[in-house]
């Protein structure tokens, strides 16, 4: 049995992954952005160990969430699932003055990675849209560019893949991977999404707990439990480091060596 923490597991793919893991006999800790969402997550995933809460758009609440996670002791795997979508029509500023999409999709997984006791496995949800992300990493906080919601989302999903590969390079004792679940009909994906919803949560579950040699890897990118080549820049250590430096500068938290 493995112990797994899943961010953004009150609904959507996070909740679907949680149910699969619980059904397989694993100990799962859920997460919602507030207490009500956390309780809803528990009701929707019977058998979960607990549900924690913290708004990932807030640096302070994300730091507090990391503390909550660490009180449980070391986890075998953390699935960084939480994300907000690409339909935000304008730059929505968080309490820290950052774009909402960047704060939740990029900075929060960085902070949780840096602060949660190192698990054996880290799994980051990216997206096929990461291939449209801005590889220059210019204006991460959208202070100069005219706002484009789809581009901001694509950028953040490129950041998630870069983070996964940076961690794989820096922490050889941790298996760190990224994946794209496909464009599926969740609340975020929308009813028109064409991909297989049943298949969408399986890769992250497999990477988190499977003993198959194909799943026990690091620095790899997957789609439907098969390796898939990410944007070429994901392999570039200098770009990875630039993202880590930017996240440290914006948050004041350093990713440990």
Angle at 104 between CA 100 and CA 109, to 5 degrees: 155
Q: What pLDDT shows up at residue 166?
A: 98
The stretch 14-27 carries a mean pLDDT of 97
| Whole-number average pLDDT of the chain | 94
Sequence-ordered list of residues with C-beta below 8 angstroms from that of 9, at least 6 positions apart, any chain: 15, 17, 18, 28, 30, 31, 32, 41, 45, 51, 81
Percent of the chain with pLDDT over 90: 89
With tokens 């009500």, the residue in question is 36
| CB-CB contact of 134 with 203 (8 Å) | no
CB 10 within 8 A of CB 40: yes
Question: Cα(79)–Cα(14) distance, rounded to whole angstroms?
Answer: 8
Domains and CATH numbers, the chain: 3-251 (3.40.50.720)
Does the pLDDT value for residue 191 go beyond 90? no
Q: What confidence score (pLDDT) does residue 104 get?
A: 98
Residue 21 has pLDDT above 90, yes or no: yes
What pLDDT, in 10s, does the model give residues 80-107? Answer: 999 998 788 999 999 999 999 999 999 9
Note if the pTM is more than 0.85: yes
Reduce the DSSP state of residue 112 to 3 states and report it.
helix
Instruction: Give mean pLDDT, residues 104-129.
Output: 98
pLDDT at 42: 95
Cβ 74 vs Cβ 53: under 8 Å: no
Residues in CB range of 160: below 8 A, 6 or more apart: 80, 105, 106, 109, 124, 125, 126, 130, 178
Pairing state between β 77-80 and 121-125: parallel
β-pair type (3-6, 77-80): parallel
Tokens encoding 236: 């570039």
pLDDT at position 108 over 80: yes
pLDDT at site 132: 97
Q: 3-state DSSP call for residue 155?
A: helix
User: Kind and range of the H or E element at 13?
Assistant: helix 12-23
Backbone angles phi, psi at 4, to 5 degrees: -130, 135
pLDDT at 185: 42
Per-residue confidence band for 3, with pLDDT thresholds at 50, 70 and 90: very high
- Which residues are annotated as catalytic? 153, 157
CA-CA-CA-CA dihedral for 6, 242, 162, 118, to nearest 10: -40
> What was the pLDDT predicted at 74?
96
Kindly report, residue by residue over 148-189, the tens digit of the pLDDT: 999 999 999 999 999 999 999 999 999 999 999 966 545 555
Tokens 């003055």 found at? 97
Q: Position of tokens 């200098």?
A: 238
Strands 3-6 and 121-125: unpaired
Q: What average pLDDT does range 72-85 have in this prediction?
A: 96
User: Among the listed ranges 38-47, 54-63, 120-129, 185-194, which one has the minimum average pLDDT value?
Assistant: 185-194
Split at pLDDT 50, 70, 90, the class of 199 is confident
Q: Give the start-end residues of each E strand in the chain.
A: 3-6, 27-32, 50-53, 77-80, 121-125, 175-179, 220-223, 226-227
Which pLDDT score, from 0 to 100, does residue 196 have? 59
């Amino acid at each position: 049995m493995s112990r797994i923490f899943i961010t953004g597991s009150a609904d959507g793919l996070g909740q679907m992954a949680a149910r699969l893991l619980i059904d397989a006999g694993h100990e799962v800790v859920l997460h919602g952005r507030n207490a009500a969402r956390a309780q809803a997550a528990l009701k929707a995933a019977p058998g979960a160990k607990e549900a924690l809460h913290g708004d990932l758009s807030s640096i302070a609440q994300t730091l507090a969430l990391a503390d909550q996670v660490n009180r449980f002791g070391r986890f075998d795997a953390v699935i960084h699932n939480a994300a907000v979508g690409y339909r935000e029509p304008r730059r929505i500023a968080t309490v820290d003055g950052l774009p909402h999409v960047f704060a939740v999709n990029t900075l929060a997984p960085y902070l949780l990675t840096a602060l949660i006791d190192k698990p054996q496995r880290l799994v980051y949800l990216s997206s096929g849209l990461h291939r449209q992300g801005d590889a220059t990493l210019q204006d991460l906080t959208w202070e100069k560019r005219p706002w484009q919601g789809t581009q901001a989302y694509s950028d953040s999903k490129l950041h998630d893949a870069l983070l996964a590969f940076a961690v794989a390079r820096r922490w050889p004792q941790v298996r760190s991977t990224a994946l794209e679940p496909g464009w599926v009909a969740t609340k975020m994906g929308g009813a028109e999404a064409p991909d297989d919803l049943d298949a969408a949560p399986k890769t992250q579950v497999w990477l988190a707990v499977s003993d198959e040699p194909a799943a026990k890897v690091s620095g790899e990118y997957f789609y439907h439990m098969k390796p898939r080549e990410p944007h070429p820049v994901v392999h570039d250590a200098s770009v990875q480091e630039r993202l880590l430096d930017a996240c440290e500068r914006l948050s004041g938290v350093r990713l440990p060596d």
